[in-house]
Amino acid sequence: MNKKASLFLATTIIWLGGCAVTPEDCDPSSGGFIKGVTCKASGSYDQRIKQREAELSDLQKQKNVLGTTSDELKTEYTSKSLLVVEEQKEVHQLGIQITTFQDRLDSATNMSKREQGQQQDLLAQLANLQAKAKRLEAILAAKSISTIEYERAKRENEQLRRELDNLMDKADAAQM
């Protein structure tokens, strides 16, 4: 074949091949020389580059959003952790107050039978409060605690505090 015919044939093949090539088909790592020239001539290779750049841009935006969300979650976690630590301290203090009150009741002497009955009743209620406080301490000491569990523990701590105050008022009224 002469050079003109070969050139015409090659040009026709490249031109026809260019019509059949989509940007997805233009992977520079496969396909060979003819496919590469066809992709470049048809503009599919440039379209593929633009698509990839758009995908990269979208992924970078998603990464930025996720990074911001991650930072917000870390800040919230730190804040919640501090709240849990404060609640742990309050529950621990409540346990100390219960023990101190139990010691006070145990040391009461010269009581009538009725007062001894009241004392035993108060001690039983204090033992119950002590058990609840220990359970609450264990919940708060867990490595991870959900917001719902934290709120529940906080309400329970407040309830235990009210119950202890009521028992102390009863003991004061009975002069124990």
> What is the count of structural domains for the chain?
2
Could you count the other beta carbons within 10 Å of the beta carbon of residue 121?
A: 12
Determine, yes or no, domain membership for 98: yes
Q: Are residues 32 and 86 both part of a single domain?
A: no
| Confidence (pTM) | 0.59
Say if residue 136's pLDDT is above 60. Answer: yes
Task: Please check whether residues 32 and 103 belong to one and the same domain.
Answer: no
Does the residue 130 lie in any domain? yes
Nearest to 175 by CA among 121, 125, 123, 104: 104
CA distance 28 to 35: 9
Say yes or no: 114 and 164 in one domain: yes
Same-domain status, 36 and 85 = no
Same domain assignment for residues 20 and 89 = no
Rounded distance, CA 60 to CA 63, Å? 5
| Enclosing domain of residue 88 | 81-173
Residues 112-119: contacts with CB within 8 Å, 24+ apart?
A: 115/174, 115/176, 118/170, 118/174, 118/176, 119/176
Q: How far apart are CA 150 and CA 168, in angstroms?
A: 27
* 3-state helix, strand and coil shares in percent for the chain, rounded to the nearest 5: 85, 0, 15
* 159 and 93 together in one domain: yes
More confident residue, 89 or 32: 89
Check residue 132 and give its pLDDT.
94
Cα–Cα separations (whole angstroms), residue 153 to 112, 128, 138, 140: 39, 16, 10, 7
The whole-angstrom separation of Cα 3 and Cα 75 is 72
Residue 73 belongs to a domain: no
Asked if residue 69 belongs to a domain, the reply is no
What number is the average pLDDT over the span 106-117?
Answer: 84
Residue 70 lies in a domain: no
Three-class DSSP category at 22: coil
Does the residue 89 lie in any domain? Answer: yes
Residues 92 and 152 in one domain: yes
Within-domain flag for 137: yes
Q: Same domain for 162 and 94?
A: yes
> According to the model, what pLDDT value does residue 23 have?
64
pLDDT surpassing 60 at residue 20: no
- Could you tell me if 28 and 87 lie in one domain? no
Give mean pLDDT, residues 139-160.
89
Residues 169 and 92 in one domain: yes
User: What pLDDT score does 5 carry?
Assistant: 64
pLDDT digits (tens, 9 = 90+) for 27-65: 666 766 776 677 777 777 788 889 999 999 999 999 999
Inside any domain, residue 56: no
